[in-house]
Amino acid sequence: MKENKNLTELTLEELQAKQKKAKGAVTGLGIVMAIALVTLIYLATKSENYALLAVAGGSGLTLLPSIIVLKQIETEIKARKAS
């Protein structure tokens, strides 16, 4: 089993590969979340079950950890390129 390394322990090539994977994951999940958001809003208005709007509003927070990791990777890459 592969051991997870700290971002500072990775090489620049490994960081760039990890960034590419993270971008793909965030993009894919973002598209799925957007479709789910539109579907929930449609179902909430069609069925007059407005509790679904709260679920739709809170579902955007599920992408936040992925976006934070992506930003950390980008910051580490910029720090390496600057030095």
**18-35: per-residue pLDDT in tens?**
999 999 999 999 999 999
pLDDT tens string 31-46: 999 999 999 999 999 9
Residues 6+ apart with CB under 8 A from 19: 70, 73, 74, 77
Give the pTM.
0.78
